[in-house]
Amino acid sequence: MISLVVVFYLFVAFFAVVGGLRGWAKEMLVVFSVILTLFMIWLFENFLGSIVTPFIQLDRALNILPPEVGDAAIYVFPPEQVVPFSALPPEFQTTFRAQFIIRAVILGFVVFFGYQTPAVLAKFQVSARREKFQDFLLGLVIGAVNGYLVIGTLWAYMHQAHYPFEPYIIAPNAADPLLERARMLINSFAPFWLSKVPNIFIAIVLSLLFILVVFL
């Protein structure tokens, strides 16, 4: 069975190539799309909790959180300590899977429009043709960042949902030689640090500022 770490890096490489072909200006819109998605989900969790329920709220209902978690809004289970999806009560299995799908659909919808190219970027495309190599390299880097953001966000939500597609996709465990790298990656994914206050507000403000200064 292939490690999720390997799959993750393959997707990052794919996004990097796409970014190099598209150019940095287009790829920046995808970065902003992921930030917008995280902000939207934060809003939904805090004001439409009956539809988009925080995962930690479901974990509290199951009494599987360590006592030291307290009132934290987000808790990241170490991958080897994730409760197997098959061990959850059937009603919670349905809820966790639905919550993952809702978030994945929101992310896919917003990112899809982020990959569309508005007319305002025409001037950047003209200048990029003059500096094609530099544009390719910068697009490669930002494309890789987008791979980390998009695929990492999906993995983060899947991790919080206890890997709802087992036995096809399971949490990294002691049998995975890349367990330590998986633990490091999971802790670095955007939903686990960018979705916190005030980080998400700072990211939204910086995104808007960048659009106003650079694109408009």
Q: Which residue has the tokens 């686990």?
A: 192
CA distance 31 to 111: 9
- Helix axis angle for 90-114 and 55-62, nearest 10°, is 170
At residue 44, does pLDDT exceed 80? yes
Contacts of 31 (CB under 8 A, 6+ apart): 142, 145, 146, 149, 207
**Percentage, residues of the chain above pLDDT 90:** 75
At residue 168, does pLDDT exceed 60? yes
Q: Which residue has the tokens 């990052």?
A: 12
CA distance 75 to 188: 13
The pLDDT tens digits of the residues spanning 59-81 come to 999 999 998 898 888 999 999 99
The pLDDT tens digits of the residues spanning 104-154 come to 999 999 999 988 866 555 555 555 555 677 888 999 999 999 999 999 999
Per-residue confidence (pLDDT) for residue 60, from 0 to 100: 95
Per-residue confidence (pLDDT) for residue 72, from 0 to 100: 87
Per-residue confidence (pLDDT) for residue 176, from 0 to 100: 87
Per-residue confidence (pLDDT) for residue 133, from 0 to 100: 78
What does the domain layout of the chain look like in residue ranges? 4-215
For the residues 165-178, what does the mean pLDDT come to? 91
Residue 190, judged by CB atoms within 10 A of its CB (0-12, 13-18, 19+), counts as buried
CA distance 13 to 145: 10
Give the largest CA-CA distance in the chain: 59
Contacts of 41 (CB under 8 A, 6+ apart): 52, 103, 106, 191, 195
Local confidence band at 46 (pLDDT 50, 70, 90 cut-offs): very high
For the residues 180-193, what does the mean pLDDT come to? 96
For the residues 36-40, what does the mean pLDDT come to? 97
Sign of the torsion angle spanned by Cα atoms 101, 105, 111, 116? positive
Task: Give the pair of three-digit tokens for residue 106.
Answer: 């929101």
Q: How high does pLDDT run on average in the chain?
A: 91
